[in-house]
Chains A and B, each alone.
Chain A
Amino acid sequence: MKSPHPRTDKGVYRPTGIDGLDAVLHGGFPSGATVLLAGSSGTGKTILCLQWLFCGYEEFGEPGMYISMTEPVAKALKNAATLSFFRQDYVDPLKIHFTDLRTVMKGMNAEDRDLTRADIAKVVEVVRNMAVQSGAKRVVLDSVTAMAYRLRDRDLIRDFIFQLGTMLGQIDVNVILTSEVSGDGYGVFGVEEFISDGILKLSYVDAAEERVRQLEAVKMRGTTFNPHPAMYRITENGIKIYPYMHRELQAAVSEERVSTGISGLDEMVSGGWFKGSATLLTGASGTGKTIIALHAVAKALKEGKKCLYVSLEESREQLIKNTGSFGWDLPAFEKSGLLRIMALYPEQRYLDEHYMEIKRIVEEGGAEIAVIDSLTALGNMFPEQLVRDFAARMVTLFKAYLVTSLFTHASEALLGASGISEAHLSSLFDNIVMLRFVEVRSALRRGILIVKMRGSMHDDALREFVFTPEGVRISADFSGYEGVMRGESRKTSETIEERLRALLIGIFGPRGQAILEREKARGLTLDGTRALLKELSDQGALSARRKEEFLREIEDVAGR
């Protein structure tokens, strides 16, 4: 990955070659720096070191040296061989030299006793000589903790690190000292961090459902770095770090409107969302957030716009099946390259992995409409603060590229008040659409409300919406009821539906009820009834005068 702070002075900075780490370090380690790599057991310190050595030789032709203090070289090599960056032919004293410091100490007859200051000088000298002989530019001492236990004295530890760092630094060698720690510190004796030029801390963070590994650059003398913890993953390819990408307040703006894909909703928002705006669709599970978001996608696809759909809850197949019932052929749009569906479970990637992948697609011009469905799925996996931060960065990214974005978020309450403020999401978005179930006469109906729309007039009424074979239709508001927002609707007067029912039964008899049900399924547009009256008149069952009278009555009832 390219660093956001590229260095030009390559003589001074030495890129690590590890994906994402150079971005965190704004280019790499300062040449000759001694870096303390602290972390608890299992965080991947050894792997990071080995990767640094092999990448150094592979990419930069820099020989390296791995000095083991904790396990035999053969075992270290065996473990390293399972990783894809490992090359057996690089295991060579003039390429990457593996050595066991305990062997050196054995030669000094110091294997069974505490080391003295003189021993330290000898060890450092031996290491220096080996580095000079092999031409190493990268040296790993794994681990300094094991060495420290042999030294016992804090001054001796300080001396050892200082001498090693100074001696190797003089010959332009970078050193990584691994340190086994638990908790907040960086070294067992608390002196290691003061002597080192830089500190990288590897740790676990408890997320909602799993432990997430993160790397934090704590200190790096003589250079800038990204202090924000970066998540990383250990894979067969080694360690992959996802540096935290800062957002910048540089949003492009447009007066152009983008259709929501639902004519009634377009009317509610004065013609559509602003291009490049971010919309939050919030509502209880099953209220229709995904379907409403998909309407915008379907409409954009039909207009030949590129769309990105990130589904974190439903599989690609499920999405295709659900939308197929509306006659939308998503596979065809995928095939044509207009639609890209990223369907994966939240735990499959870290937030920054999601961010980087989406960013790549957006930067390549692969999306004019983007949907993140849903933030709630991420919230189930990662801490709320991280999800909010992720959402903020996504919004900024989309705005920068004028991508009209829709985010879905499930509120916990089935009826009544929404939980949009719970996740502190509301301020991030330009538009907030609240979907909710409304209980009316013991039946569960769906309501849609535009809570907020920056820079635009919008309908303030809570309107009913229904699913029809053609898609979502917005219908009448809940006039005649009060308490609908609280989910406790109470009838205050005769509703439009009741008046329509009475009128239709007055015209069509018992069949009026079935006609009303059909109209409701079509969103109470009453187009079907108008057509029916016209046809009855044309067929001689109804005089033209009566037809006009009934049409007027229907329009009156519907309030149009």
Chain B
Amino acid sequence: MTTRHTRAYLVTLALWTAYAALNFLTPTTENNALGLSPVSLALIRVSIVVPYLLAWLAGTYGALTLFDAAKSMPEKEDRSAFRQIAMGILILLGGVIVTSFVSGIRSYMMPSGRDVSSFVIVINYLYVFVPLAGFFYIFNGAGRLRGAPGTELSAAWAICGTALLLLFSALYVWLIFTNPTRQTSSDPKIAPSYFLPDAAIVLTIVIPFLATCVLALLAILRLLRYYRGVTGFLYKRSSLHLMYGLLGVITGSLLLQALLSLGSGRLLGLGLGPLLLVIYVFLIVQTLGYVFVALGARKLAAVERVMAKYEKPAS
């Protein structure tokens, strides 16, 4: 493990510790939205915060290892492609950490009745623009990956993808504009979702998010094309892990947006069981995504490291 790696893990651990502290220091009263006891609330918090650590560490490891793998690659185009994908993963992870941290602050401040509107707006923009930047890098990097000739995806893939995208977009827009607490909330325990006028929501939230979805979908299709075209067991195996991982990260990220678009009122209206199920599904998908990215990056880095040593001319 390099010093760079060690430093990155320590920073991640420190951020997680701060995030966990914020969560546990948030005052718990009987008067919470779900009417949970402080103990139950604390247990739920633990069940959410602990998987975060695994996801963050796996994401950090995956992104840094992918950078290392890219550095050892002999082809300039491959180096550039994997570097951009690693950068995309790092941005997504950074977004997750920062938004979690800011959300933690917001949750800490909410019970005290202080104004959290600016926090909500910042968090919403972070949720939208950070993934947009991350997916842009991944999309760009995936486009540079070269598979074997003749492995272009068939039109069926594009049609399915477009249909899925349209369906998801329609659902997303419908969820946002049917969210009764998108601008104001009559319940003091529930903060409004956006604190923005509808026009601003469309221009600054919906459209960028749909652009993110398009980039994410195209990135997945490009990775799939690369996976189908790449030759050699070693590369196919590592690219499969990477593809699964990125699919998880992308899905998790989109799922989070979908959850946010529901609004706190509707989420809480689901009841504790379904709400926890949705949250755990999101956590599992995201964590597995980062773990698979880490596994794929680890294999790829090992392959590149060994091959570079083998191909190094004897002095």
Interface positions of A (Cβ within 8 A of B): 469, 505-512, 514-515, 528, 532, 535-536, 539-542, 546, 550
Contact = CB atoms under 8 A, between A and B. Distances in A.
Interface string B36-65: 000000000000000000000000000000
A218 B302 CA distance: 85
A535 to B, nearest CB: 5
A539 B230 contact: no
A395 B310 CA distance: 47
Contacts of A506: 231-233
A505 B306 contact: no
6 contacts: A506-B231, A509-B230, A509-B232, A539-B306, A540-B302, A541-B303
Contacts of B234: 507-509, 536, 541-542
A539 B233 contact: no
A532 B306 contact: yes
Interface string B275-315: 00000000000000000000000110011011101110010
B108 interface: no
Given A511-B307, A514-B311, A540 B298 contact: yes
Given A511-B307, A512-B232, 19 more contacts: A505-B232, A506-B233, A507-B233, A508-B234, A508-B307, A509-B231, A509-B232, A510-B231, A514-B311, A515-B310, A532-B307, A532-B310, A535-B309, A536-B306, A539-B306, A540-B299, A541-B303, A542-B234, A546-B233
B177 interface: no
Contacts of A505: 231-232
Contacts of A469: 314
Which of B232, B235, B298 has the most CB atoms of chain A within a 10 A radius of its CB? B232
Interface of B: 230-235, 238, 298-299, 302-303, 305-307, 309-311, 314
A528 B306 CA distance: 12
B297 to A, nearest CB: 11
Contact of B302 (A510, A514, A541, A550): A541
A512 B231 CA distance: 10
Main DSSP-derived SS at the A contact region: helix
A539 B305 contact: yes
A546 B233 CA distance: 10
A254 B62 CA distance: 67
B299 A507 contact: no
Contacts of A550: 233
Given A532-B310, A540-B298, A540-B299, A511 B232 contact: yes
Contacts of B232: 505-512
Contacts of B233: 506-507, 546, 550
A540 B241 CA distance: 14
A106 to B, nearest CB: 88
A541 B232 CA distance: 13
A192 to B, nearest CB: 76
A435 B298 CA distance: 49
Give the 3 A-B residue pairs with the shortest CB-CB distance, closest first: A509-B232, A541-B302, A539-B302
A508 B306 CA distance: 12
Contacts of A532: 306-307, 310
Nearest to A469: B314
A261 to B, nearest CB: 21
A469 B234 CA distance: 29
